[in-house]
Amino acid sequence: MAVPAIELRNITKVFLGKVVANKNVNLTVNYGEILSILGENGSGKTTLMNMIAGIYYPDEGQIFINGEEALIVSPKDAFKYRIGMIHQHFKLVDVFTATENIILGLKDEERYDTKKAAVQVKAIADQYGFELDPDKKIYEMSVSEKQTVEIIKVLYRGADILILDEPTAVLTPQETEKLFAVLRRMREDGKAIIIITHKLHEVLELSDRVSVLRKGEYIGTVETKDATEASLTEMMVGKKVELNIERPDPKDPEERLIVAHLSVKNREGLTVLKDVSFTAMSGEILGIAGIAGSGQRELLETIAGLQPIEYGGVQYITPESGKIEYLRDKTPMEIRELGVRLSFVPEDRLGMGLVGNMDITDNMMLRSYRRGRTMFLERKAPQSLAERIIEQLQVTPSGTSTPVRRLSGGNVQKVLVGREIAAAPTVLMAAYPVRGLDINSSYMIYDLLNAQKKNGVAVIFVGEDLDVLTALCDRIMVIGQGSITGIVDGRTASKEEIGLLMTKGGHVS
Amino acid sequence: MREPLFHVVKRELIDWWKAWLIRLAAVLLALVLSAIVTVIMTGLNPFQVFATIFDGALGTARRTWAFLQGTAILLCISLAVTPAFKMKFWNIGAEGQVLAGAMATATCMIFLGSKVPTLILFIIMVVSAVLAGAVWGLIPAIFKAKWGTNETLFTLMMNYVIMQIISYFVYQWSVPKGSGQIGIINSESHAGWMPALFGQNYLLNILIVVLITAAVYVYLRYSKQGYEISVVGESENTARYIGINVKKVIVRTMVISGALCGLAGFLLVSGTDHTVTRDTAGGQGFTAIMVSWLAKFDPLMMVIAAALIIFLQKGAGEISTQFSLNKSFADILTGIIIFFIIGSEFFINYRLIFRSRHKESKEVAA
Amino acid sequence: MITFLQRAVIMGIPLLFGATGETITEKSGHLNLGIPGILYVGAISGVIGAFFYENSVGAANIVPILAILIPLLCSILGSLLMGLIYSFFTVSLRANQNVTGLALTTFGVGIGNFFGGSLIRLSGADVPSINLTATSNCFKSKLPFVDSMGWFGELFLSYSFLAYLGIIIAVVTAVIMRRTRVGLHLRAVGENPATADAAGIPVEKYKYFSTCIGSVIAGLGGLYYIMDYAYGVWSNNGFGDRGWLAIALVIFTVWKTDLGILGAFLFGGLLIIHNYIPNLGVADQELIKALPYVVTIIVLVIVSARKRRENQPPQSLGLSYFREER
């Protein structure tokens, strides 16, 4: 076999001295080959690729390009080795044309000539079968066109090794098909292509070999022709880890929140939720599993009244009286005025749930500051609430006047969850409430959620760790590309089953 | 690989007292530099420089009152722009909003001067000044809320529109006709002049600003609306999350900001100038922006910042007079002080890390 | 009519310099509210240079080429320093642009008025006022055959070289912005510094250069005002609010310096049109002077309401860029 395009040997990367993002990763890519890097969220795929692209520098291990050891400390170095990476977040200037973005930053010896460059861009596009108008402005483009610009930008700079980070996450099935056709043509052209993904069917359809990462560790590489969805899922999710999380049986569950045929578009006009229907019951924890960005955030924000609904509705059934409130087209304030006690722990804790520069007491007031008849704030109750939360949840440092920005991640989350629970909710939605938390803080959050469940609250828990979801939740709803791909029993479902459901959905199944 | 000597990283929040220590050091450094500049210009020795500055600001009772009055006006305008800034609405139209209030006050004085009882006259003056300032602040706010029109540029332009409007009326109403000046309004009857308190012309004026300071402090710190302003300024996303109507807050806050500016205009015309020209605000609308920002939007710190600036201006004015130099000497010193304080913010928010330490890990890896 | 157009051009040129300079700066994402101060410093530096030169050799003995070069260099140096102060604070120290700009204006206007008012005393020269007519005459020298060309010469060829320089700079700037790699990179820096950074463009260098060049150009506007418009006579606060008018002009011409030429003449015309309208009261003149600002506000509102992306302010205008904050 010829010299591999890239060979990674024992690559290890540790962040901030403790979070291990990659541990002893070995893999190779050849020219004329498509390699998939498969793994769940947080398995270290992007970090690994960023080291090849010069964004990060590995702590240990070696990178060989074309058989020779390479030192890549900046994107410029990567470019020198003819490596180009297409990131998930596009780096484009909106008011420039495609061509202008493609030639941005190049220091050609030649005269600056956008017309000539446009011809070259067109030529590259035609060679690989892209559809692109070189003179179109970025802000007039669809996401897929923007991606095309990013890919051509890399090709224009002469890259032979292409890395694509979750390229299909933002594409429609038709666009995905087109992209795959282009990638296959590049493979025939002798380029080495690495594609980061977590979609099994894409892996099987497109790639020649698959390398799997799990929690930063390299699990192995298999030939795609020998792999099945089931075998890959097992490699991806691993064996079940027994967690010691309490799971009491739901007591007298009754319907609390009914979501029916919900469809939502985001600001760019793309459908992010499609015909979502489910019911959240009181006294149970409903888990939501799915690849990040499958519509979990939009679902919770829509229920909370932060996103406009395209179609469908949300009903709330008041405990005891049984009165039905319709939440569609209501602002968060109006929802609260209806007497709906809906608490929401958003994913973006300091950017949405809390104000980083305010102290704990003032953050307690976010939900309740309107109370009281005067135009002045009532700080006594929030102050004692802050003290209570600090004491009960062991928040450190323990001063109520500490700005929350100075707290560690776990303590920030305790403050946020504590506040949302203190509002005595009947529905509690929590998005990734244990992300980034240490074990002790995580268990404290599970206990809090369970306590709410026992109080008869309908808890909606969006999580990413399947071990946790299957240990904590009564039912698990799986969301894939904006639609529900299945609702399983948390006590009996296997991780493989959920993992398979996660990769389906949307336009595919 | 050539590596830069140091690189810059964002700091964690530092203790408030350290931050203020850094700022204090900056002020002291600035004063030293100012002294050096003054010495070069005048040949005085540095101690004489400070003695002269001190004498110019607080040397006599009359100067002290003038100093207090100047501080009060600058403080009032600084307080006025603060709610908008806390909301991250860059209102640099304070100059115009003050002028709108000044114009309204002068108009009332001219036309209602001796026709209505004093108390009613004052009520009308205050109300119309506040309304005029509020309207001048409201216009850009509406467009900001509706279309996101750039408020910095909009408010800036509004300043000069009102200046020309004032010039227009100054010519229209000039006394004597055609002189291009309104002159002292009601110079005989003193109608609409802020009354003296305990024989001090400025005392009432100063007391009003003390009240405004307390009110703004309480408003920002203890009222629900002040809380909403902070939330909107810190994070619009959080504001949405808890159901604050961001547009409403923008418009409401700008009305308040403009209204307070209008009130400052009233104080200027009724309390000190007793006339109006396009220069009535005298650039204090801009100085106030710097004062508010230097004080980190804290009304109490603003008292100190405003006093510092006025102290320097009065003092430098004295130096200019004694050495028959131009009065603008004060502006140069003000500029220096502000530059130093602005610069000190960098050391509060960022840290320099010198690079040498990183080498080892790289060598191991390579 | 000819005189009106001619005066409009003369009034417009300082604005054109200021607006061209400010546009270059704003294209890099920096709103420099120090432009009014820079106009003063550009002017006073030139005045200081000319003053000392005239006083050292005597007004009658000056060499025209030196009489032009010395003030020109002094002016460039003065405004360059102002540009450096602004960029050091806003680029390197990432200070708030509005506050820095306003402080720079306070400082610059102070410097201008201070030296303008105290230069004679400080230098101990024995002249009654700063009156640089001799130098001004060198600046104002016209092409020799202009007078023989009737209205055509009056309207197109009668100005001093700085006026033509201003127009040339505006045109060249427009061409650089649209048709060169440097222009492309500069616009990228102002629109989206993170993207420019990722593309390997030295963001800070571009910001420094564009701010400093912008300052120098704006400063020339001040020099032109003194040496040509004001016949070499310094008067304190002589600029009035022209600096702000220059910033208005940038918006009015939606960040296009070639449009700025016409815009400057239009604004210049609006400043003096009252002299050419019969039976106009003094008071009404003042209202007409408000027109440039009102028109600018209207443009600003229309541009923001129409949301045409090409006409928006540079996207990162007013924000400082810190790479690690991604």
Q: What is the pLDDT of residues B84-102, one digit of tens each?
A: 988 888 888 899 999 999 9
Residue of C nearest to B286 (CA): C102
Q: Tell me, what's the pLDDT at B361?
A: 41
Distance CA B192, CA B125 (A): 8
Query: CB-hemisphere CA count at 13 Å for A424?
Result: 4
* Tokens (6 digits) for A150: 């990013």
Q: What is the dihedral of CA A233, A234, A235, A241, to 10 degrees?
A: 120
Strand order in the sheet with A161-165: A68-70, A60-65, A6-15, A19-29, A217-223, A209-214, A33-38, A192-197, A161-165, A83-86
Computed on alpha carbons and rounded to an integer, the radius of gyration of chain B in Å comes to 23
Residue of C nearest to B333 (CA): C107
Mean pLDDT of chain A: 84
Q: Tell me, what's the pLDDT at B251?
A: 92
pLDDT-derived band at A163 (thresholds 50, 70, 90) equals: very high
Distance CA B264, CA B213 (A): 12
pLDDT-derived band at B13 (thresholds 50, 70, 90) equals: low
- CA–CA min distance B79, chain A (Å): 19
* Tokens (6 digits) for B277: 């020209």
Nearest 5°: phi and psi at B124? Answer: -65, -40
- Mean pLDDT throughout A57-64? 86
Distance CA B266, CA B289 (A): 19
Q: What is the pLDDT of residues A102-137, one digit of tens each?
A: 888 777 666 777 888 888 888 888 888 888 888 888
Computed on alpha carbons and rounded to an integer, the radius of gyration of chain A in Å comes to 25
Q: What is the pLDDT of residues C221-270, one digit of tens each?
A: 988 888 887 777 777 777 777 888 888 888 888 888 888 888 888 888 88
- Mean pLDDT throughout A223-238? 83
CATH 3.30.1490 matches C2-142+155-325: no
Distance CA A409, CA A390 (A): 14
Q: What is the pTM of this model?
A: 0.82
Q: Tell me, what's the pLDDT at B362?
A: 40
Neighbours of chain C (3+ CB pairs under 8 A): A, B
> Of B90, B157, B346, which has the smallest distance from its Cβ to C297's Cβ?
B157
> Largest Cα–Cα distance of chain A, in whole Å?
80
C-alpha A381: how far from its chain's center? 36
Specify the length of chain A in residues: 509
The amino acid sitting at B166 is: I
**CB-based contact (8 Å) between A243 and chain B?**
no
Higher-confidence position of C60 and A10: A10
Per cent of chain B over pLDDT 90 is 17
Residue with tokens 């700066």, as numbered in its chain: C25
Q: What is the pLDDT of residues C50-87, one digit of tens each?
A: 888 887 777 677 777 787 888 889 999 999 999 999 99
Distance CA C272, CA C2 (A): 13
Q: Tell me, what's the pLDDT at A393?
A: 82
Q: What is the pLDDT of residues B145-201, one digit of tens each?
A: 888 888 888 998 899 899 888 888 888 777 777 666 777 777 777 666 776 667 667
**CB-based contact (8 Å) between A403 and chain B?**
yes
- Mean pLDDT throughout B113-122? 80
DSSP state of B196: P
Nearest to B258 by CA among B352, B337, B353, B158: B158
**CB-based contact (8 Å) between A73 and chain C?**
no
**CB-based contact (8 Å) between C96 and chain B?**
yes
Q: Tell me, what's the pLDDT at B255?
A: 94
Higher-confidence position of B359 and B352: B352
* A301 Cβ contact partners less than 8 Å away, ≥ 6 residues apart: A307, A346
Which residues does residue A27 pair with via DSSP β-bridges, in sequence order?
A8
Which residues does residue A289 pair with via DSSP β-bridges, in sequence order?
A478
- Mean pLDDT throughout C271-294? 79
Per-residue pLDDT at B355 exceeds 60: no
- Mean pLDDT throughout B138-143? 92
Residues 347-366 of B with CB under 8 A from A: 361-362, 365-366
Residues 260-319 of C with CB under 8 A from A: 309-310, 312, 315
Q: What is the pLDDT of residues C211-220, one digit of tens each?
A: 999 999 999 9
Q: Tell me, what's the pLDDT at A126?
A: 87
Distance CA C196, CA C205 (A): 12
* B222 Cβ contact partners less than 8 Å away, ≥ 6 residues apart: A376, A377, A379
pLDDT-derived band at B142 (thresholds 50, 70, 90) equals: very high
- Mean pLDDT throughout A202-218? 87
- Mean pLDDT throughout B240-260? 90
Q: Tell me, what's the pLDDT at C153?
A: 63
The amino acid sitting at B67 is: F
Q: Looking at A316-330, B343-357, C35-49, C266-280, which range is the least confident one?
A: B343-357
Per-residue pLDDT at A503 exceeds 80: no
Ramachandran sector of residue A428 (left: φ over 0; alpha: ψ -120 to 50; beta: rest): beta
Contacts of A93 in chain C (CB under 8 A): 187-188, 191-192, 195-196
- CA–CA min distance B122, chain A (Å): 27
Most confident of A143-147, C206-210, C241-245: C206-210
Q: Examine the predicted complex and report whether its ipTM is higher than 0.85.
A: no
Q: Tell me, what's the pLDDT at C208?
A: 93
* Tokens (6 digits) for A416: 């946020």
Computed on alpha carbons and rounded to an integer, the radius of gyration of chain C in Å comes to 20
**CB-based contact (8 Å) between B229 and chain A?**
no
Q: From residue C9, how far is each of A486, C59, C144, C235 by CA, in Å?
A: 74, 29, 20, 21
Per-residue pLDDT at A356 exceeds 90: no
Q: Looking at A42-46, A96-100, B234-238, which range is the least confident one?
A: A42-46
Q: Tell me, what's the pLDDT at C325?
A: 47
The answer to whether the CB atoms of A100 and C194 lie below 8 A apart is no
C156-193: burial string, b at 16+ Cβ within 10 Å, e else: eebbbbbbebbbebbeebbebbeeebebbbbbbbbbbb
Residue with tokens 């009404």, as numbered in its chain: C284
Mapping DSSP to helix (H, G, I), strand (E, B) and coil, where does residue A22 land?
strand
Distance CA C140, CA C148 (A): 17
Per-residue pLDDT at C154 exceeds 70: no
Nearest to A300 by CA among A443, A460, A420: A460
Q: From residue C282, how far is each of B171, B239, B360, C4 by CA, in Å?
A: 7, 50, 76, 18
Higher-confidence position of A65 and A234: A65
Q: Tell me, what's the pLDDT at B7?
A: 60
Q: Tell me, what's the pLDDT at B359?
A: 41
Higher-confidence position of C80 and B361: C80
Q: From residue C273, how far is each of B278, B322, C11, C293, C320 by CA, in Å?
A: 21, 43, 11, 15, 41
Alpha helices for C28-63 (secondary structure H) = 35-57
pLDDT-derived band at B9 (thresholds 50, 70, 90) equals: low
Which residues does residue A325 pair with via DSSP β-bridges, in sequence order?
A316
Distance CA B44, CA B48 (A): 6
Q: How many CB atoms lie within 10 A of CB C233?
A: 15
Distance CA C314, CA C321 (A): 14
Ordered by start, the domain boundaries in chain C are 2-142+155-325
> Of A352, A357, A405, which has the smallest distance from its Cβ to B237's Cβ?
A352
Residue A397: asked if its preceding bond is cis (omega within 30°), the reply is yes
Q: What is the pLDDT of residues A127-136, one digit of tens each?
A: 888 888 888 8
Burial of C123 (0-12, 13-18, 19+ CB in 10 A): middle
Q: What angle do CA B102, B106, B111 make, to 5 degrees?
A: 150
Q: Tell me, what's the pLDDT at A509?
A: 33
Q: How many CB pairs under 8 A join B and C?
A: 179
Cβ–Cβ under 8 Å, residues A276 and A310: no
Per-residue pLDDT at C192 exceeds 80: yes
- CA–CA min distance C314, chain B (Å): 11
Burial of B60 (0-12, 13-18, 19+ CB in 10 A): exposed
Cβ–Cβ under 8 Å, residues A159 and A79: yes
All domains of chain A in start order, with CATH: 6-237 (3.40.50.300), 253-341+425-509 (3.40.50.300), 354-423 (no CATH)
Ramachandran sector of residue A484 (left: φ over 0; alpha: ψ -120 to 50; beta: rest): beta
pLDDT-derived band at C124 (thresholds 50, 70, 90) equals: low
Burial of C307 (0-12, 13-18, 19+ CB in 10 A): exposed
Cβ–Cβ under 8 Å, residues B299 and B213: yes
Mean pLDDT of chain C: 82
The amino acid sitting at C139 is: F
Distance CA A468, CA A181 (A): 38
- Mean pLDDT throughout A349-374? 83
Q: From residue A241, how far is each of A244, A465, A494, B67, B212 by CA, in Å?
A: 10, 11, 11, 74, 63
Per-residue pLDDT at C163 exceeds 50: yes
Higher-confidence position of A22 and C149: A22
Higher-confidence position of A36 and B37: A36
Which residues does residue A479 pair with via DSSP β-bridges, in sequence order?
A484
- Mean pLDDT throughout A308-325? 87
Q: From residue C151, how far is each of B76, C12, C272 by CA, in Å?
A: 55, 19, 20
Contacts of A365 in chain B (CB under 8 A): 227
- Mean pLDDT throughout A446-474? 89
Residues 107-126 of A with CB under 8 A from C: 107-108, 112
Nearest 5°: phi and psi at A151? Answer: -65, -45
The answer to whether the CB atoms of C121 and B8 lie below 8 A apart is no
* Tokens (6 digits) for B135: 């309207």
Q: Which secondary structure element, helix H or strand E, spans residue B78, and what is its range?
A: helix B61-86
Q: From residue A103, how far is each of A99, B12, C201 by CA, in Å?
A: 6, 38, 12
- CA–CA min distance B252, chain C (Å): 20
- Mean pLDDT throughout B208-225? 88
DSSP string covering B130-146, please?
Answer: HHHHHHHHHHHHHHHHH
* Tokens (6 digits) for A14: 């540790």
Contacts of C247 in chain B (CB under 8 A): 153, 156
Cβ–Cβ under 8 Å, residues B38 and B356: no
Residue with tokens 């002028």, as numbered in its chain: B99
Per-residue pLDDT at B222 exceeds 80: yes
The amino acid sitting at B325 is: L
Q: What angle do CA C129, C131, C136 make, to 5 degrees?
A: 170
Nearest to C111 by CA among B333, B79, B111, A267: B333
Q: From residue C175, how far is each of A111, A439, B10, C169, C207 by CA, in Å?
A: 15, 61, 38, 10, 19
